[in-house]
Amino acid sequence: MSDEKMTAAGQEEARSQILKLVADYCDKYHNKKGPFEEGQRIPYASRVYDSHEMVNLVDSALEFWLTSGRYTDQFEKGLSDYLGVRFCSLVNSGSSANLIAFMALTSPLLGERRVKRGDEVITVAAGFPTTVTPVIQYGAVPVFVDVTIPQYNIDVTKLEEALSDKTKAVMIAHTLGNPYDLGAVKAFCDKHGLWLVEDNCDALGSRYTIDGVTKFTGTIGDIGTSSFYPPHHMTMGEGGAVYTDNALLNKIIRSFRDWGRDCVCPSGRDNLCGHRFDRQYGELPLGYDHKYVYSHFGYNLKATDMQAAVGCAQLEKFPSFVERRKHNFTRLKAGLAGAEDKYILPVPCENSDPSWFGFLITCREGVDRNKVVQYVEGKGVQTRMLFAGNLTKHPCFNEMRESGSGYRVAGALDNTDRIMRDTFWVGVYPGMTDEMIDYMAKVLKEA
């Protein structure tokens, strides 16, 4: 055997020994929870993983490529295949995914349809801030529309009222896995020539039937986004994805993700198009190295290959996660039967099949949300608010609220305010057992 072959064989042997040890370590020391006991902490969300994730992570570390590489390619292909979309870009968080999705709409490559500063974007205030943050940071104007309870999504009857001659896009999240009325929102966008960005960070695996075809949420609008932060439907620690079927949007998304560059060669590869040194760009000299030509003011929001390696293992388990989330939601809702005089329970959007992120509860008149939450937390059940409640009430809006500029409210935000006051949620993550769900129902009823 040549020295080279011996080294390769030795390296492979060492690698498999290490990975075997890692798998044994994970099996022995992780996921070692005993049977559930009442009063034990039930988090609203948690990672669900086994040795496969850890082995992939270490495998990627041993390779030491570090930046996006083969696991990233595998993950992007795997997620596109799962969702049934043409293009997927891995990024370092859901917030980054939203930033890129929105900034893509500002690209000069979109001509008349590009979002310019001062243009309006219809959204909701009952949600997570970073669905809206990129709009404000760019200098476009979010227009907030109220939501409905118990769907916790945009009230589509208010869409026309929110429209102005500056409206260019709609950008909204599917709240805690419950799709919004995509039929109505998409028809509104098509009618008025608006972009639709689906913040799918809390809804990966949810489906919606539109024009007789069932599709995953995030794939019906122009761009969809995901988050892989640990509480989300699947995790890689930090991570996110931006997906689209539109080749031009994909090119722009990649450019914004990768420093704003024009070239699409992956890290470490050069001259895939064969025209690296023979084109004219902007006012640069003819043949200026295409690798360093910038068509946008972009970022670097790539994830590492170690994150992607964990994501690849999670993706294999993902369909079972979705099923378990649905099971947990259904069981909790059944367990809360009889409590509807105190609580408004969540209802899926028509034509949808949600992959629930959480179980939202709104306290009816006379029921004090804070007392309920404190009781439930005291019994070990972790709760969460619907993120910002009403985003426009937060300190980050102080200046804009005082100056009366920078955003617009279409109509009243009565339900949004009610959510801020009376709503909370508990988890349905796939690691929950039936005993945990039944205990949550019992505690919520006692409260």
Ligand X SMILES: Cc1ncc(COP(=O)(O)O)c(C=O)c1O
The catalytic residue positions are 232
Asked if residue 150 has a cis previous peptide bond (ω within 30° of 0), the answer is yes
Binding status of residue 130 toward ligand X by CB under 6 A: yes
In whole angstroms, the minimum distance from the beta carbon of 387 to ligand X comes to 6
Binding mask 256-275 for ligand X (x = CB under 6 A): --------------------
- Calpha distance 249→227 (Å, rounded): 19
3-state secondary structure 371-425: HHHHHHHHCCECCECCCCCCHHHCHHHHHHHHHCCCCEECCCCHHHHHHHHHEEE
- Taking CB under 6 A as the criterion, the residue among 78, 134, 240, 335 binding ligand X is 240
Q: Which is nearer to ligand X, 59 or 202 (CB)?
A: 202
Nearer to ligand X, 59 or 146 (CB): 146
Cα–Cα separations (whole angstroms), residue 206 to 18, 217, 233: 38, 6, 10
Considering only residues 154, 196, 201, 437, which one is a binding residue for ligand X as defined by CB under 6 A?
Answer: 201
Strands (E), 258-371: 343-344, 352-353, 358-363
**Which lies closer to ligand X via its Cβ, residue 128 or residue 439?**
128
Are 149 and 418 spatial neighbours (Cβ–Cβ below 8 Å)?
Answer: yes
- In the complex with ligand X, which residue's Cβ is closer, 266 or 348? 348
CB of 199 to ligand X, least distance (A): 5
Q: What are phi and psi of 230, to 5 degrees?
A: -50, -40
List, in sequence order, every residue forming a beta bridge with 360; answer none if it has no partner: 425
- Say whether residue 95 binds ligand X (CB under 6 A): yes
Q: E strands of 287-390, at which residues? A: 343-344, 352-353, 358-363
The residue range among 43-51, 94-102, 209-217, 347-355 that interacts with ligand X, by the rule CB under 6 A, is 94-102
**Position 132 contacts ligand X (CB under 6 A):** no
Per DSSP, the three-state class of 356 is coil
The CB-nearest residue to ligand X is: 94
Interface segment toward ligand X; rule CB under 6 A; list 11-19, 134-142, 196-204, 407-415: 196-204
Closer to ligand X by CB, 199 or 262: give it: 199
Q: Which of 44, 87, 102, 128 binds ligand X (CB under 6 A)?
A: 128
Measured between alpha carbons, how far is 66 from 267 in angstroms, rounded to an integer? 11
Total residues at interface with ligand X (CB under 6 A):
15
Q: Does residue 274 contact residue 267 with C-beta atoms inside 8 Å?
A: no
- Residue of the chain from 76, 120, 199, 222 that contacts ligand X (CB under 6 A): 199
CB of 49 to ligand X, least distance (A): 17
- By CB under 6 A, what part of segment 165-194 binds ligand X? 173
Q: Which residue from 155, 202, 222, 258 is in contact with ligand X, where contact means CB under 6 A?
A: 202
CB 237 within 8 A of CB 279: no
Taking the least distance from each CB to ligand X, the nearer of 199 and 305 is 199
Question: Binding to ligand X by residue 346, rule CB under 6 A?
Answer: no
Give, in order, the Cα–Cα distances in Å from 280 to each of 275, 276, 277, 287, 290: 10, 10, 9, 6, 9
Torsion of CA 425, 429, 432, 436, to 10 degrees: 0
Residue 250 touching ligand X (CB under 6 A): no
CB nearer to ligand X: give 202 or 305: 202
Chain positions contacting ligand X, by CB under 6 A: 93-95, 98, 127-128, 130-131, 173, 199, 201-202, 227, 229, 240
